[in-house]
Amino acid sequence: MSEAPPTTPPTEAAPVHEGTATPRPTMSRKSVGASQRTAPDRFTPPEPPALEVRDLSVYYGKKMALSGVSMQIPVKKITALIGPSGCGKSTLLRSLNRMNDLIPGARITGAVDYHGHNLYGNSVDPVEVRRRIGMVFQKPNPFPKSIFENVAFGARVNGYKGDYNELVERSLRQAALWDEVKDDLKKSGLALSGGQQQRLCIARALAVEPEIILMDEPCSALDPIATLKIEELMRQLARDYTIVIVTHNMQQAARVSDYTGFFLAGEAAYGQLIEYGPTEEIFTTPMDPRTEDYITGRFG
Amino acid sequence: MAVSLPDENFTLQATGRVARRQAVSRASKWVLLGASMIGVVVLFALMVDTIVVGWSRISWSFFTSYPSRFADQAGLRSSFIGSIWILSLTIVFVVPIAIATAIWIEEFAPKTRLLEFVKLNLANLAGVPSIIYGVLGLAVFVRLFGWGSSILAGSFTLFLMILPMTVIASQEAIRQVPPSLRQGSLALGATEWQTVWYHVLPGALPGIITGVILALARAAGETAALIMIGAFTFIAFDNTSIWDSFTTMPIQVYNWTVRPQEAFRQNAAAGILVLMTVVLTFNIAAAALRERFRN
Ligand SMILES: Nc1ncnc2c1ncn2[C@@H]1O[C@H](COP(=O)(O)OP(=O)(O)O)[C@@H](O)[C@H]1O
Ligand SMILES: [Mg+2]
């Protein structure tokens, strides 16, 4: 996998008309083709789906926040969800591991298939779902406990019987944090810098060995250097994990993701998936004019 | 580079409106200080008076003697032991029930009208005069349950009396635990109970302890409710069972203050000193515990 993802800022992308331009050569790092796209929001990634969202709508009370989203999240790839704030990105992300259950009044219609089972099926236990589909939040939220206990917690509550020292080291290494904290694992997780805290939260999520990691604007509270570190880490993690990241930073989506879904809450006031496809296509040859307006910075 | 001379027509001293606003601000400090001092001075005067009157009575025999018709032979023994029994039992009842109630309300209860009703009632109950709890205790525990004027009936009455304020304090403490911690825990596949046990409770514990101790201080000084259930008796033995009749320190003090003789007034003052020391010890213990759990 390429270590240096293309960094063409979207604002530099020349206005293109749908379907006419070919992807830029610098964008050719991935072997995904445009051929699967028949409409802006219809796209089937070549990889098998880790999650299949089918006609998902989410309501908060009477208010519809997200309407009729269908998309396949490919396995071991990074899928970015972009769009202006309030368009339902976090809402979609939370419904991928049933964190929406925690919001009083939240209601969901449609389905999310995971290994052929609907996450919203009757016999599905949300605790079981969340163990397999982890989440990293916008604001780093380490527990007010030691670094070691932060990482070990998920395994503990899941009854892990193996070697905790080994598990903690492995998870911290995977999260590229081990070298910075290996000498004081007893230190409070809250004593770390913001970027380290966020990597601790990633390590904590990895320690329960999920298949999928959902990240909701994981860098929005971090400085640019810490942000780059996390982005690098995400590229590494994508070898073993399926990652879905919400970001309002289009450069970030362009830098790290393989696929991008663009969401918008139009006059209708509920969010919709406007366009979905390989990241380079979304940023160079969007099919929907609204996508183009957004990525060229004309609104949002 | 040239050094610029101060501009003669320019001043950074307070003038006009700023000067007036600053004058008000400075005056406000003195007014607030004065208000605070009223309480402090009155309390200090009371303390001094109590110490002056009662200090000479503080001795070992004051703790080891039962009440007596003779002021110089009377002591706190039975009421001290009675207070310890009553407070210990009250703690045993109130801590688990209050914490469980608060957790249920904050973490598990469906957000319905019924819940709002329960919360409203808790707030109201916390403001009910203690004598009402005494009447309730008399009717239910002493008479209906047939427990008599026993330690058990007394602690149940005080337990009911301080339960609302303890629940409310525990709720406050639980609400202080950031939602992001709960989300972090749940997102790792912890159950709701595991999240409460490992994160919410430890985070809320300092606040819960403070609430419990403050409530206990109130129970320690409670007289009316206990007199109501029949604790106003002459006890010249050591309590050994929850079925014993009992007296407590504030009741004993009250007992002494209604006597006409000056010597009993001294006993009362000494009793107050002991009671205050006990309550102060509670508060210090609470602060120490709070600091420990904070780290
Ligand atoms: N907990 C909630 N309760 C009620 N409405 C919510 C809640 N969370 C989000 N919403 C609403 O749902 C819509 C989408 O929000 P969100 O998913 O947070 O958008 P985004 O993450 O794209 O900024 C917004 O209109 C927002 O007001
Ligand atoms: Mg969001």
Q: Is the pLDDT of residue B199 over 70?
A: yes
Would an 8 Å CB–CB cutoff place A134 in contact with chain B? yes
A139–B203 C-beta distance less than 8 A: no
> Measured in angstroms, how far is the CA atom of residue B179 from the centroid of ligand 1?
16
Residue A209 corresponds to which amino acid?
E
B199–A141 C-beta distance less than 8 A: no
Confidence (pLDDT) at A267:
75
Confidence (pLDDT) at A299:
64
Chain B hits for A102, Cβ within 8 Å: 182-183, 186
List chain B domain ranges: 80-248
Q: Classify domain B80-248 at the CATH topology level.
A: MetI-like fold (1.10.3720)
Q: Is the pLDDT of residue A23 over 50?
A: no
Phi and psi at A45, nearest 5°, equal: -60, 150
| pLDDT tens for each residue of B255-274 | 999 988 888 999 999 999 99
User: B99 is written with which tokens?
Assistant: 């914490």
Name the residue of A63, A91, A262 whose CB sits within 8 Å of the most ligand 1 atoms, as the mutation to test its pocket. Answer: A91
Chain A hits for B189, Cβ within 8 Å: 127-128, 130-132, 154, 157-158, 208
| ipTM tops the 0.90 cut | no
Measured CA distances, B80 to A72, B55, B60, B84 (Å): 73, 18, 13, 6
Name the residue of A60, A99, A138, A264 whose CB sits within 8 Å of the most ligand 1 atoms, as the mutation to test its pocket. Answer: A60
B188–A137 C-beta distance less than 8 A: no
The number of angstroms, rounded, from the C-alpha of A219 to the middle of its chain's C-alpha atoms is 12
- Tell which residue, B85, B78, B166, has the closest CA to residue B125: B166
Residue A107 CA: which ligand is closest? 1
Band (pLDDT 50/70/90 cuts) for residue B293 is: confident
Q: Which chain B residues have any C-beta within 8 angstroms of a chain A C-beta?
A: 111, 178, 180-191, 194, 198-199, 203
Name the residue of A90, A215, A273 whose CB sits within 8 Å of the most ligand 1 atoms, as the mutation to test its pocket. Answer: A90
For residues A178-184, average pLDDT = 93
For residues B12-19, average pLDDT = 86
Chain A hits for B204, Cβ within 8 Å: none
pLDDT above 70: percentage of residues in chain B: 99
* Smallest Cα distance from B255 to chain A, Å: 51
Alpha-carbon torsion, ordered B48, B53, B54, B56, to 10 deg = 110
| pLDDT tens for each residue of A89-104 | 999 999 999 999 999 8
d(CA B275, CA B147): 27
Contacts of residue A37, defined as CB under 8 A and 6 or more positions apart, other chains included, come to: A43, A277, A281, A287
Closest C-alpha residue for ligand 1 atom 24: A86
> Measured in angstroms, how far is the CA atom of residue A90 from the centroid of ligand 2?
4
Residue of B nearest to A100 (CA): B183
Alpha-carbon torsion, ordered A138, A143, A146, A148, to 10 deg = -70
Would an 8 Å CB–CB cutoff place A94 in contact with chain B? no
Closest C-alpha residue for ligand 1 atom 9: A91
* Smallest Cα distance from B292 to chain A, Å: 14
Q: Average model confidence (pLDDT) for chain B?
A: 91
Where is A282: in which H helix or E strand? Answer: helix A279-284
Confidence (pLDDT) at A24:
39
Q: Is the pLDDT of residue A31 over 70?
A: no
Band (pLDDT 50/70/90 cuts) for residue A19 is: very low
Q: Hey, of A143, A171, A198, A209, which one would you mutate to test binding to chain B, going by the most B CBs within 10 A of its CB?
A: A143
User: A109 is written with which tokens?
Assistant: 């219609």
| pLDDT tens for each residue of A62-94 | 999 999 999 999 999 999 999 998 999 999 999
Band (pLDDT 50/70/90 cuts) for residue A11 is: very low
Contacts of residue B157, defined as CB under 8 A and 6 or more positions apart, other chains included, come to: B133, B134, B136, B137, B141, B225, B226, B229
Would an 8 Å CB–CB cutoff place A277 in contact with chain B? no
Please give the model's pTM, rounded to 2 decimal places. Answer: 0.83
For residues B141-150, average pLDDT = 94
| pLDDT tens for each residue of B147-172 | 999 999 999 999 999 999 999 999 99
User: A68 is written with which tokens?
Assistant: 């009729």
For residues A116-142, average pLDDT = 94
For residues A229-234, average pLDDT = 92
Q: Which residues line ligand 1 (CB under 6 A)?
A: A 60, 65, 83, 85-91, 103, 271
- Environment class of residue A22 by beta-carbon count within 10 Å: exposed (0-12), middle (13-18) or buried (19+)? exposed
For residues B220-233, average pLDDT = 90
Residue A91 CA: which ligand is closest? 1
- Tell which residue, B242, B245, B225, B227, has the closest CA to residue B78: B245
Confidence (pLDDT) at A211:
95
> Measured in angstroms, how far is the CA atom of residue A96 from the centroid of ligand 2?
14
Q: Hey, of B188, B199, B200, which one would you mutate to test binding to chain A, going by the most A CBs within 10 A of its CB?
A: B188
Confidence (pLDDT) at A298:
73
Q: Is the pLDDT of residue B69 over 60?
A: yes
Q: Is the pLDDT of residue A2 over 50?
A: no
Chain B hits for A204, Cβ within 8 Å: 184, 188
Confidence (pLDDT) at A98:
95
For residues B234-241, average pLDDT = 89
Confidence (pLDDT) at B11:
83
Number of other CB atoms surrounding residue A67 within 10 Å: 20
Residues having C-beta closer than 5 Å to ion ligand 2: A 90
Chain B hits for A186, Cβ within 8 Å: none
Of A128, A144, A153, the CB nearest to B188: A153
